[in-house]
Structure 1
Amino acid sequence: MEFFGNIIKGIMIGIANIIPGVSGGTMAVSLGIYDRLIGSISGLFREFKKSILFLIPIIIGAGIGIVGFTYAIEYLLDKHTFVTCMAFVGLILGGLPAIFSSMRAKVSSGGVGVFGILAFVIAFAISGGMPLLKESKDALTVIAVTPGNMVILFILGIVASATMVIPGVSGSMMLMIFGYYYAIINTIKTFLDNLRAFDLAGMKDGILLLAPFGIGVALGIFLIAKLITFLFEKYGVQTFCAILGLVISSPIAIFINTGLVSKLGSLSLWEILFGIVLMAAGAFVTVFVGER
């Protein structure tokens, strides 16, 4: 039963990773598996069997979430921006009780301290302010198959995956900042279309572009997991305070990064009510799935 439950959690993490402004790391925190996920990645070679048994369903689910939601994400964010964003805000904020519970286990009688508060403020400012760096429109929608672009995609994979693992920092948002988000989404969609049509030439181009990106993603996740494991062990309270700041500021990043701020004045009453309902439902789903 835990295997299928982890597949569901992986699906939610995968979907979160392709939505600009939403962090897969935040979703993992909200689902109550962040510590174990990071521990399994950083301890992959030390406790291989235990780690791989936990990671396999997460990886399967994340793959399903990314592939299944790649076609839907642009439509939902373009046509139903508010309700889509509110659903994910609920999914993220529904994990706050789990974060507070984990923090209480680390906090001593002296409280979080000055450095804990400082970590919260800095993390909040970074997560809330990073979307402001994004250009208003991505010019690049197609990536040519060249050695230079393959190297760029490998580097982008490392950068994006490292931020995917950090709660509150969106890997998709980083790709938007660098101007490659829609190009990579289109590359994935084109590869899947060619796979269904069994177009070998088209599949080859997709593999040549997505393989270096995927290798970069795997390498980045492993490297940042080692760092986060160290931070949890040495600076547990401050790390949790920073995570809390990143998570709480995530809705700000989502609203700015999806262009929702400019649309708030044109929302109908029904859209607002439906968005609130979806936010509550998202929070319930996170709490329910996180307890499984």
Structure 2
Amino acid sequence: MNRWRQGALLFAKGMTMGAADVVPGVSGGTMALITGVYDRLLESLSRIDGHAVGLLLKGRVVDLWRHVDGTFLVTLFGGVLLSILSLARLITHLLQAYPVLVWSFFFGLILISALYVGRSLDRWTPTAGGMLLLGAAFAWMITAAHPLQLQPDTPTLFIAGAIAVCAMILPGISGSFILLLMGLYAPVLTAINSFDLAVLATVAAGCVVGLLSFSRVLNWLLHHHHRATLAFLCGLMLGSLNKVWPWKETLSVRENSAGELVPLLQRNLLPDQYETLLGQGAQLGESLGLMLLGMVLVWLITRMAGGSDTES
């Protein structure tokens, strides 16, 4: 594969990560994992360290670029940024207009991704099984948590960015969902849509601090406890299915940045319960079709990636 084609494919992988991060409940880390860039991403981020600062202070820009795998990072995050800026409004609209169908697509995508990661382990041990259950329980509790209503002041936005970006690189836990739990999803999405540079800069600064610190931890875990870490990440994806289950009953609502009422607390229903309680069609055939489409998309992405970096 020539250099330009590799760059275009990497940029496209970044766009899939950005698109996933816009949706509360879907993680860009999931897309990084199934597209085969997860290990390299963590390795590159963990190299932004004291040695990198030393190279910068000495003016050795070329050596610094090579040390941090700069071309990889700029290309990947360029795709992430373009996707977030271009797709935020579209995905928000689709979630409001066609919630069952959109969540069905992401349910299929995350389910097959979890199975794919689980299959990549060379063998399952009791420790790996325990980590799988721990990850699933942790993600389930996060997705079932009651949202807070924090004020979007500068310190809070900085801390929220740091926490949310940690979730972003964890498969199965969405950074945007963490913002939703904090009551800050609407202010940040509004800032993206209106290009509010003050808010965006504050959140971005928090993201940089959180990303550089947490990526080092994850990178160390993958190098020293590879099987257990992958099992935990697989569990995170399985536990997050609680959030993306398509058929839900809304228990309470919130007002979004446009003054519209959108769901805040929801509970999962079976398709027949959804039709009986809400008097709406479950769209079962279309939903199953979109679940299958999500699964096929993951298969195509992994084929294009030429194998996953998750294999032991």
Please tell me the TM-score bracket, short chain as reference.
Answer: 0.7 to 0.9
3-state secondary structure, aligned to 1:168: coil
Which residue, 37, 49, 73 being the options, matches 2:66?
A: 49
1:62 lines up with 2:83 in the alignment: no
Which residue, 3, 10, 13 being the options, matches 1:9?
A: 13
Matches within 5 A, 1:1-292: 1-45=5-49, 48-49=65-66, 51-96=69-114, 98-100=116-118, 102-104=120-122, 107=123, 111-113=124-126, 115-135=127-147, 149-191=153-195, 206-255=196-245, 259=266, 261=268, 264=271, 265=274, 266-291=281-306
Structure 2 Cα separation of the partners of residues 101 and 280 of structure 1: 15
**Bigger Cα displacement from structure 2, 39-48 vs 1-10:** 39-48
The alpha-carbon distance between structure 1 residues 234 and 282, as it changes in their structure 2 partners (threshold 3 A), is same
Structure 2 Cα separation of the partners of residues 263 and 181 of structure 1: 28
Tell me if structure 2 keeps the 8 A contact 1:127–1:253. no
Please list the CA deviations of residues 40-66 of structure 1 after superposition, one character each: whole Å capped at 9, or x if unmatched. 111245674261111111111001110
**Bigger Cα displacement from structure 2, 55-64 vs 261-270:** 261-270
Whichever structure has more strand as a proportion of its residues is: 2
Give the aligned residue type for 1:261.
N
Equivalent pairs counted in the alignment come to 264
The alpha-carbon distance between structure 1 residues 119 and 131, as it changes in their structure 2 partners (threshold 3 A), is same
Tell me if structure 1 keeps the 8 A contact 2:104–2:244. no
Tell me if structure 1 keeps the 8 A contact 2:118–2:231. no
Structure 2 Cα separation of the partners of residues 65 and 259 of structure 1: 28
1:8 CA displacement: 0.5
Structure 1 Cα separation of the partners of residues 42 and 111 of structure 2: 20
1:30 CA displacement: 1.5
Higher relative contact order (CA 8 A, sep 6+): 1
Whichever structure has more helix as a proportion of its residues is: 1
Tell me if structure 2 keeps the 8 A contact 1:134–1:177. yes
Query: Gapped runs of 5+ residues in structure 2?
Result: 52-63, 249-263, 275-280, 308-312
1:97 CA displacement: 6.0
Q: Output the TM-score relative to the length of structure 1.
A: 0.81
TM-align CA RMSD: 2.6
Structure 1 Cα separation of the partners of residues 288 and 223 of structure 2: 43
Structure 2 Cα separation of the partners of residues 95 and 21 of structure 1: 14
**Bigger Cα displacement from structure 2, 260-269 vs 32-41:** 260-269
Identity %: 24
